[in-house]
């Protein structure tokens, strides 16, 4: 019953996001400067009748509410509109590029988590100040470098560009994961297990990981958002034809229909990931705080 309720809440939340996002997209596009102006209308050679014919041929000239309602209806039919810059359907552009971003994000999330676990787990089993200081130093250093600069540095030295994603996700995951795991390791039942002489590996697997798992799962949901953020910089700098690069090109070309629809879809994807993580962990995420 609880799972059904959570699922219903998730669907409602996604629908509200789509509705609000669609409204904001339509409103911003409709109110943007130059909306509905055809380049041909600026041609002084055309007479009044030709200009009127051009204006009549443009359905976008409708009022604010009519445009917004039509946009919302089209959105819920799966029609994401036409890109002004590429003169192509937005859905087609997204379809061409989402795989590149998905692959980059998978590398980033898996790599970032692997690095974080490499630094966190040994210090739980065999606590070492040197190892902790090394981990804190590496993650602190990476936190202080903008992901775009990191991508640029690795690109200049012809390093593995995809590794930037992992390096961008790692420090953020590490900070939370270390806190969650350390908190779980300090619980009285873990101390009792240590006193009883249970092996460190067994303590980790049976006494620490299960306690930290719900929050770690919630963190996994949040790392999708982190990876999306890093993907923009990596795709732009390293020339990966993904959604981040598409958003950047749309921003430079002021292609608002594409950019805002893309932002809304990324938000939906992030919300979905967060909600799934919450459902799997069985509790609302507190990591985002």
Which structure tokens are listed for 275?
């909600």
Q: Is 141 in the site for other proteins (CB under 8 A)?
A: yes
Q: Which residue in the set 108, 270, 279, 281 belongs to the binding site for other proteins (CB under 8 A)?
A: 270
Which of 37, 73, 149, 191 is the binder for other proteins (CB under 8 A)? Answer: 149
Residue closer to other proteins by CB (options 6, 46) is 6
- The answer to whether the CB of 270 falls within 8 A of the CB of 229 is no
Tell the smallest beta-carbon distance from residue 271 to other proteins (Å).
Answer: 5
Nearer to other proteins, 61 or 249 (CB): 249
CB 212 within 8 A of CB 184: yes
What are the tokens at 25?
A: 């997209």
Q: Rule CB under 8 A: is residue 68 a binding residue for other proteins?
A: no
**Per CB under 8 A, 6 contacts other proteins:** no
111 close to 166: Cβ distance less than 8 angstroms: yes
Tokens 């297990």 — which residue? 193
Least distance to other proteins, CB of residue 236, Å: 6
Alpha-carbon distance of 245 to 225, in angstroms, equals 16
DSSP 217-232: HHHHHHHHHHHHHHHH
Question: Which of 221, 117, 116 has its CA nearest to residue 172?
Answer: 116
Q: Which stretch binds other proteins (CB under 8 A): 43-51, 61-69, 91-99, 256-264?
A: 256-264
276 binds other proteins (CB under 8 A): no
Structure tokens at 97: 């590029």
> Which residue in 184, 266, 277, 279 binds other proteins (CB under 8 A)?
266
CA distances from residue 30 to 1, 67, 260 in whole angstroms, order as listed: 43, 7, 12
Q: How far is the CB of 8 from other proteins (least distance, A)?
A: 16
Q: Which is nearer to other proteins, 166 or 278 (CB)?
A: 278
- According to CB under 8 A, which one of 6, 85, 175, 187 is a site residue for other proteins? 175
Residue 139 touching other proteins (CB under 8 A): no
Contacts of residue 244, Cβ cutoff 8 Å, sequence gap at least 6: 101, 228, 231, 232, 233, 234, 235, 236
Binding residues for other proteins (CB under 8 A): 16-17, 20, 28, 32, 140-141, 143-149, 152-153, 156, 175, 179, 225, 228-229, 232-233, 236-237, 247-248, 250-252, 254, 256, 259-260, 262-263, 266-267, 270-271, 274, 288-289
């Amino acid at each position: 019953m609880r799972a059904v309720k959570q699922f219903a809440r998730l669907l409602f939340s996604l629908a509200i996001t789509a509705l609000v996002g669609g409204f904001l997209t339509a409103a911003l596009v409709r109110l943007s400067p130059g909306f509905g102006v055809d380049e041909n209308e600026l041609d002084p050679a055309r007479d009044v009748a030709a200009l009127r014919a051009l204006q009549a041929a443009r359905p976008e000239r409708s009022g604010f509410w009519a445009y917004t309602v039509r946009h919302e209806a089209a959105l819920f039919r799966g029609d994401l509109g036409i890109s002004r810059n590429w003169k192509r359907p937005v859905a087609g552009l997204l379809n061409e590029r989402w795989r590149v971003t998905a692959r980059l994000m998978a590398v980033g999330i898996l790599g970032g988590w692997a690095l974080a676990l490499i630094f966190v787990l040994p210090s739980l089993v065999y606590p070492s100040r040197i190892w902790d200081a090394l981990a804190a130093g590496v993650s602190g250093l990476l936190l202080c470098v903008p992901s775009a600069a990191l991508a640029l540095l690795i690109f200049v030295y012809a390093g593995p560009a995809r590794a930037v994603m992992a390096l961008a996700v790692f420090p953020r995951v590490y900070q939370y994961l270390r806190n969650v795991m350390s908190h779980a390791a300090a619980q009285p039942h873990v101390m009792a297990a240590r006193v009883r002489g249970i092996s460190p590996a067994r303590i980790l697997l049976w006494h620490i990981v299960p306690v930290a798992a719900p929050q770690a799962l919630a963190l996994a949901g949040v790392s999708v958002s982190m990876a999306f953020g890093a993907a923009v910089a990596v795709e732009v700098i390293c020339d990966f034809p993904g959604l981040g690069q598409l958003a950047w090109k749309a921003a430079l070309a002021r292609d608002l229909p594409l950019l805002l629809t893309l932002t809304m879809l990324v938000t939906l994807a992030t919300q979905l990931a967060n909600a799934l993580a919450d459902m799997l962990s069985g509790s609302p995420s507190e990591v985002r705080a």
